[in-house]
Homo-oligomer: A and B are copies of this chain.
Amino acid sequence: MKTGQTHLFIPGPTNVPDDVRRAMNIGQQDMRASDFGDLTIGLFEDLKQVFRTRTGEVFLLPGSGTGAWEAAITNTLNPGDKVLMARYGQFSDLWVQMAQRLGLEVEVIDVAWGAGVPVAEFERRLGADTRDEIKAVFVTHNETATGVVSDVAAVRRALDASFHDALLFVDGVSSIGSIDFRMDDWGVDLAVTGSQKGLMCPAGLGILAVSAKAAVAAKTSTMRRAFFEFEDMRAMNAGGYFPYTPPTMLLHGLRAALDRIFAEGLDEVIARHARLAEGIRRGIHAWGLDLVAEHPSLYSNTVSTIRTPDGVDAREVIRIAYDEMNTSFGSGLGRLAGKAFRIGHLGDLNEGMCLTALSIAEMALVRAGAQIPMGAGVAEAQRHFTGVATAQPRLRIAAE
């Protein structure tokens, strides 16, 4: 029987803070009540701050980030539109597949899993697209499968350098609210996230921010859509209502989660993610293991994807942690299955939790056959967190 706290270190759903859980534990209520907007209207405004947009608008969709991807596409593009995408992990791959299914002509650039968005190649293609055939550029800001963060601002610069008018779509599901994201500054037109990552709520809400430019595009878009129609949502949202029965419980959770984010400060939240992620990474490197992310500039502050040593099946690491240590790590997805496992380090997190993750990972790796020094990763992370680069390890060795 499993005892004690469940240690959840997947890159979403993330640990829901106790006050968010409490906020969701409510009786049902009339989503057409005269005062329903007291709950909801503020959410739209506050989410804009999280997306860092003043000029955009935000929609809340019952569903998931995947649903929000679809809503972004079907509301703003036209059948057969050409779009430019890159594939460097499971989630960017799924987005490509969706775009194809929805009838877009997708120009895909495949790069290594572990690389980020190929900005130079994007710039080349955009520059070559003199007839403006590319209607949209899609970027997976944080590729949750590989633990790679891409440079969205650079994509914007590439667009601007080509004086290209394509819409800029960004999947920020595992970055927004945790990693610096600047919708207005970066000229993002459609930014997608979900409730279950940096926003510290359970899954169930897709969240979409739409720029003024995208809103104009939506007026003439001819793709078929109904459930996720912007017009319907905009009309109802103005009064705090929805064109369908909303998941009210999650709206209460989101309210509490946003209150937490603003109480801590969004900049502070982002800085905390950076600090904790660096501790995790130093721990991983102390084991002598590699991240899938190819370069430090690509390291994600929300998820680290760790290659297991040759001969060590990452699935076994995950199984041991889950079955024997009441701990969930993320699995290697797609081509990384068996070769990597992931530590999610986003949302409601602190130093102690990161050390828990490292200490359990160390035990699971060793049990799975890895030759890694027990405690070494924890110690490196502790040094990072305390700022104390103690000389004691040597003393300790002498004592052995």
Contacts and interface: CB of A to CB of B under 8 A. Distances in A.
A383 B374 contact: yes
A65 interface: yes
A6 interface: yes
Interface in A341-364: 348-353, 355-356, 359-360, 362-363
A219 interface: no
A373 B390 CA distance: 7
Contacts of A323: 34
A375 B372 contact: no
A145 to B, nearest CB: 12
Contacts of A395: 371, 373
Q: Which of A7, A27, A70, A331 has the most CB of B within 10 A?
A: A27
A57 interface: no
A142 interface: no
Given A367-B388, A374-B383, A393-B374, A245 B64 contact: yes
A387 to B, nearest CB: 9
B4 A28 contact: no
Contact of A366 (B2, B30, B386): B386
Interface string A182-199: 000000000000101000
A310 interface: no
B393 A245 contact: no
A16 interface: yes
Interface string A261-298: 00110001000100000000000001010000000000
Interface residues of A, number: 118
A250 interface: yes
A203 interface: yes
A227 B360 contact: no
Contact of A62 (B1, B63, B103): B63
B10 A5 contact: no
Contacts of A103: 224
Given A374-B392, A388-B367, A395-B373, A351 B360 contact: yes
A157 interface: no
Given A3-B260, A376-B392, 6 more contacts: A1-B268, A3-B349, A6-B27, A66-B245, A102-B225, A378-B378
14 contacts: A1-B268, A4-B351, A4-B353, A6-B27, A10-B30, A34-B323, A62-B67, A63-B227, A194-B245, A196-B245, A204-B249, A352-B360, A353-B356, A375-B376
